[in-house]
Amino acid sequence: MISIFYIASIIAILASFKTISSTTPLSALLYLIVSFFASAAILFSLNAYFSTVLQILLFIGATAILFIAVISFLDLNAIIFRQQEKLHLTPKIWLGPLILIFVLFVMLLFSIVNTDYTLMTVHKVNIDSYSIKDILLGPYILVIELAGLLILGALVVAYHFAHFIIHNTATPHARSGMLLVAEKSGQKKEKKEP
Amino acid sequence: MISLMHSLTIATALFIIGLFGVMIRRNLFFLLLSLMIMMNGAILALVAAGYHWQQFDGQIISILAISAAISEACIGLSLLLHIYYRRKTVNIDLLSEMKG
């Protein structure tokens, strides 16, 4: 388990660094997926099986696929602008942020290393006697409902923007097709809405 | 037993890499990717703390963090599509009309 943790953390850090430094969106996305898988392995080695499943299902299965779908909508030449990015990735540009980030990293590492972990008493709860389900549907039910409402709000906002785009940019032919589909599927909804 | 110090160090490194990406990139798409890396680091820290105290609470708060990350990616990507269809670019330097 310990070797899994360290190997996976090295892979996660390398893949994250490749993500922010690559110029092609698709390769950056593939490195991001590798980073997510590696952090899922880290969570697995921390005995958090439920979070591992959530990470793989929601981060890789939902979010990464969403990013791929958005890339396929866009014109790749418009979002790469390679020359400008090359210009921005020169040392002259990123040296200032690198110094600031390094100072922040050293400060955070200093505070992490200097913490006296022996003062933090670990209450040895017999974790086998109850499962995560008992907590999830017991005292923490409001947190779960809040998470659901958060995703619902995001869904409403995304639908609002996508609706605007479909009605403003689709070609007449495609638009009439979309409207036909919308009329067929949305007949019951329209009666309720006025 | 993996020590809390090491897992917190990994989480901090991921967070810092994401923050660095937010600072150097000028492409809205890559900014969203870097934000996902930052959220990943935060989730890792939550689960590591839960593992250290042998409690489930860290994992449950990580559910909230994961759903926050997903909503953020969803809204960010729909905003990116919107900006792309209006201005035909995702370069945030060209989009800064307020010169901020």
- pLDDT (tens digit per residue) in B5-64: 889 999 999 999 999 999 888 888 889 999 999 999 999 999 998 888 888 888 889 999
pLDDT of A192 strictly over 50: no
Mean pLDDT, residues A161-170 taken together = 72
Q: Which residue has the tokens 């919308």?
A: A182
- With beta carbons under 8 A apart, name residues in chain B contacting A49: none
Q: Does A175 score more than 60 pLDDT? A: no
- Given a cut of 50, whether residue A87 has pLDDT beyond it is yes
| pLDDT score, position A32 | 93
Complex ipTM > 0.95: no
**C-beta atoms of B2 and A148 within 8 A:** no
Residue of A nearest to B37 (CA): A16
B4: nearest Cα among A5, A12, A132, A13: A5
Model confidence at A21: pLDDT above 80: yes
Residue B17 φ then ψ, to 5°: -60, -40
CB-CB: which of B26, B34, B90 is closest to A20?
Answer: B34
User: How far is the alpha carbon of B98 from chain A, nearest alpha carbon, in Å?
Assistant: 21
* Whether residue A88 has pLDDT greater than 80: no
Q: Which residues of A touch B6 (CB under 8 A)?
A: 5-6
- The predicted structure's pLDDT at residue A191: 40
User: Each residue of A111-144: pLDDT tens digit?
Assistant: 988 887 777 766 666 555 667 777 778 888 898 8
Q: Is the pLDDT of residue A108 over 50?
A: yes
Q: Is the dihedral of CA A137, A140, A142, A145 positive or negative?
A: negative
Q: Which comes out higher in pLDDT, residue A52 or A72?
A: A52
How many angstroms separate the CA atoms of B90 and B97, rounded? 13
Please state, in angstroms and as integers, the Cα–Cα distance from residue B58 to each residue in A74, A127, B48, B51, following that order: 38, 14, 8, 8
Contact B81 A74 (CB under 8 A): yes
CB B55 within 8 A of CB A125: yes
A85-93 contacts at long range (C-beta below 8 A, 24 or more positions apart)? A85/A23, A85/B25, A85/B26, A85/B27, A86/A23, A88/B24, A88/B25, A88/B26, A89/A21, A89/A23, A89/B24, A93/B24
